[in-house]
Structure 1
Amino acid sequence: MEIRRVQVTGGASFVVTLPKEWAEAQKIVKNDPVGLVTQPDGTLLVTKHLSEEPAQRTKEIDTTSITDPAFLFRMLIGAYITGFTIIRLTTKVRFPPFVRTVVRDYTQMTIGQEVVEETETTITIKDLLNPAEMPFDNTLKRMFVIIKAMHEDAVTALETHNRLLAMDVIKRDTDADRLNWLIARQTTMILQNASLSRKMGISPHMATNYYMISRIIERIGDHAVRIAEHSLPIIDVDFDRKFMSAIRKAGALSLEIFDRSIVSFFNADMKEAHRNVESLAALENICRDINNMVLKQDALIALNIAYISESIRRAGEYAGDISETVINLLVDNEIGPARGKVRK
C-alpha cells in the first residue's frame, strides 16, 4: 500500500497525487479525466473508465481439437458465467455437426445469448441482455416459484400416479439452471465493474449473497428432480394411505421451511430465520418415520422411497442453510434487499 498525504489548495479543495507507476500503466496523461466512485465500505475507486456500461470482453475458443460435446458446452457456460459479452468459436476446418448442436442448446439454455454471425469456420455469439433489466431480487423470486412448484408436483405425481407430471418436473430443472447461471454471471460482472454495481443499485457484497442463495435454491431444485426420478419406477404402486400421508406431510413441511427462508431473506427477519432453522428437527423425525415404515415394503419400493425421503429432508436442510445465510447477512449489519417485503 502506498501512503499519500492529503494537500489542501485554495483553502477548500483536497488534493492527492496519483502514483506515477499506476498512471503510466493506465496510460493516463496530463488533462485526462478520471472517474471517482465512492464504494459502500467508504473507500474511493479511481478509474479511467468513465462509461457505466459493462466492458466488451471477447472469448476465443478454438474447437479444432474438441471432440466432446459436453466439454464444449461447459466451456460456453464458463465463458457466460465469467462475464464475456462475445464468444467466438473458430476451427481450422469445417465445423462438425455437434458444434452447431451445442451452440443451439447453449443459446436456448442461457438468457440473452444469440448467434450474430456464422460461417463454415466461425460462429460468433453475443450477449444482448442489459444486466440492469434483470434485477437480482426478481430473478431469485422467480427461481423460488419455479422450484417450489417442482417439489409440489413431484410429490403429487407420486400420489396420483401421474407419469407425465413427473417427467415434466425433470424437464423444468433447466428453467431453474438458466436463472442461477444468470445470477452467477451478473455477480461476476458486478465484481469486475464497480459502475455496474451502482447502476443496478446493489453492492458487490450483497450480489455475492444473492449468488450464494441462488446456488442453494438450485440444489433444492435438483432434489425435486430426484424425487420425480425415483417416483417413476414406482409410479403405478398403490401405497397405504398412512404411508402416503407421511410423505405428503414431509413434503409440505420441507416446502414450508423453504418458503419461510425466502420470506425471512426479503423481509430481513433474523428471528424468523432462526425459528426456521429450529424447525428442521420436526422434518427429520417425519423422514425417519418414513424410512422405518418403508422397511416392510419390497426392495424396489423401499429403495426408491428411501431416496425420495432423503431428497425431501435434504431440500429442507438446504432451505435451513438459506436461513443461516440470512442470519449471517443481518449480523453483518446489512439491511437486506431494498425492495418491498414478501408476505407469507
Structure 2
Amino acid sequence: MESICRYREKSRIYTYMETLYTIMEIRKVQITGGSSYIVSLPKEWIKASRIGKNDPVGLIVQPDGTLLVTPKIEQEAVQRKKELRVNATTDQTYILRCLIGAYISGYTTIVLSAQGRLPPSIRLRVREFTQMAIGQEVVEETETSITIKDLLNPSEMPFQNTIRRMAVIVKAMQQDGVEALRSGNVALAGDVVARDNDVDRLQWLIARQCNLLLTDANLARKMGISPQMAMNYFLISRIIERIGDHGTRIAKNAIEFHQEGSKGEVVEMIGTASATASKIFDRAMESMFGQDLEGANATIECVEDLEVQARAINREALKFDAAMATAIVSISDSIRRIGEYSGDICENIINNLVNEV
C-alpha cells in the first residue's frame, strides 16, 4: 500500500512538473522593506519539492537572463539509481542496450537482479558493458545481483577535451583506411575497424554528460558551461561519430579491394579526395575551437570541390567489374560524406555563433 501511495505521489509531481513546462504562471513583483523585491513561489511546486518554512533554495542566473530556482543547493552530484530485472530468457542484445541507455541517461548506479542465480550470459554482457563505457565499474556482485557504479567525476572530463580526442581518432581512422587501401595492409584496416569502439565510447560519454548537465544546475555551474552549449557539443559529437563510421567503412572496403588484387589510377584519385576531406574536417574543427564564424562559412564552400572529385572516382569505377566497382563507389561515397559532415559541423558552428556577433 505504501508503494502505491509513493507511486501516486510521484505521478502527481510528474504531472504538475509537465504542466509547468506547458503553462507559464504570472507573478507580480512586490517590494518589501523599501528595498527588497519578492516574488511568491507556486504552492504546488513547493509541495512537490518538499520545501518547508525557512528552508533555503538556490537562485542561479542563466546566460539568457532567466532565473533558475532550485531546492538543490548541495554541491554533491545528483545520485540516480536504475534497476533492471533479468532472467535466463532475457535477450542479450536487449539488456546491453538497456545498460548503455541507462549510462547515457545519467544513472549513477545500475543494478541487475534476478529471482534466482544470475545467468552467466548476463555476467558476460555486464563485463562487455563495463569495458565499453567510460567510468563504469562493478562494485558489488552476488549470485542474484550485480551493482554497477559510475566512478567518473563528470567535471573532470571537459567537453572540448573529449571532442578533440574524438577528432584525432576519426581523422587517423580515415587516413589509415586509405593507406590500407593503397598498401594492401589488411592488419591496418582491421585496426581501423577496431578503433570505432573508442569513438563510440567517447560519444556516449558526451551524451551522458549532456544529460547530467541538463538535470543538474550545480554541475553546469561547476563545469562553466551552459545547457545550450552542452547540447551543441553533443550534436557535434554525433556528427564526428558518424565520420568515424565512414572511416570504418573505408577500411572494410579496403580489405575487399585488396582481395580483388587490382589497382590503378583510381587509388591515387581516392588518396587525393581523402586528403581534401581531411583538410575540410581540420578546418571545421579549427573553426569550432577558434569560434571562427567566417572560417566556418568558408569551409562549407570547399565541400563542392570534394563532390566533384567523388563523381570523378565514380566514373573511374565503371572501368572495373561489379564487385570492384561497388567497393570503389562505397569508398568514394564515404569520403564525400566525411566532407559533408564536416560542413554540417560548420553549419552548427554558425548557428551557435550568429547570436554572439
Cα gap change, 1:299 to 1:123, in 2 (>3 Å)? same
Cα distance in 2, alignment partners of residues 215 and 17 from structure 1? 42
Deviation at 1:278, TM superposition (A): 0.9
Q: CA RMSD in A?
A: 1.2
- 2:32 corresponds in structure 1 to 9
Q: Within the alignment, does 1:123 sit opposite 2:146 as a pair? A: yes
Distance 1:126 1:59 in 2: 10
- Tell me, what secondary structure is at the counterpart of 2:311? helix
- Within 5 A, what are the aligned runs for 1:109-258? 109-236=132-259, 237-240=261-264, 242-258=265-281
Written as runs of structure 1 = structure 2, the 5 A alignment for 1:293-332 is 293-332=316-355
C-alpha deviation, 1:20, in angstroms: 2.0
Structure 2 CA distance for aligned equivalents of residues 218 and 263 of structure 1: 17
Q: What's the CA shift for 1:3?
A: 2.2
Runs of 4+ in 1 over 4 A off after TM superposition: none
SS in structure 2 of the partner of residue 87 of structure 1:
strand
What does residue 55 of structure 2 align with?
32
Whether contact under 8 Å (1:144, 1:217) holds in the other structure is: yes
What displacement does 1:65 show?
A: 6.4
Bigger helix share: 2
Q: Is the 8 A contact 2:284 2:342 kept in 1?
A: yes
Tell me the CA shift for residue 238 of structure 1. Answer: 4.3
Kept in 1, the 8 Å contact 2:110–2:147? The answer is yes
Instruction: Report the Cα distance in structure 2 between the residues aligned to 1:255 and 1:50, rounded to whole angstroms.
Output: 46
What corresponds to 1:341 in structure 2?
A: none
- Given the alignment of the two structures, is residue 287 of structure 1 paired with residue 310 of structure 2, yes or no? yes
Matched residue count: 333
Residue 13 of structure 2 aligns with which residue? Answer: none
Gap regions ≥5 residues in structure 2: 1-23
Identity of aligned residues (%): 55
The Cα of 1:5 is off from its aligned counterpart by 2.1
Q: Which amino acid aligns with 1:266?
A: F
Do the aligned partners of 2:220 and 2:226 also contact (CA within 8 Å) in 1? yes
Do the aligned partners of 1:60 and 1:90 also contact (CA within 8 Å) in 2? yes
Q: Which of 62, 75, 82 pairs up with 1:52?
A: 75
1:217-238 CA distances to partner (integer Å, 9 max, x unpaired)? 0000000000111111222524
State the 1:66 CA deviation.
Answer: 4.8
Instruction: Report the Cα distance in structure 2 between the residues aligned to 1:322 and 1:167, rounded to whole angstroms.
Output: 28
Structure 1 unaligned blocks of 5 or more: 335-344
- CA deviations on 1:184-219 (whole Å, 9 max, x unpaired) are 000001111111111101000000000000000000
Decide whether the 8 Å contact of 1:58 with 1:84 is kept in 2: yes
Shift of 1:301: 1.2
Shift of 1:143: 0.2
Which range moved further: 196-205 or 269-278? 269-278
Specify the code of the residue in structure 1 equivalent to 2:25. Answer: E
Query: TM-score scaled to structure 2, two decimals?
Result: 0.91
Secondary structure at the counterpart of residue 111 of structure 1: coil
Query: 1:54 touches 1:189 (CA, 8 Å); kept in 2?
Result: no
CA contact (8 A) 2:88 2:119 kept: no
Q: What secondary structure sits across from 1:3 in the alignment? A: coil
CA positional deviation for 1:114? 0.3
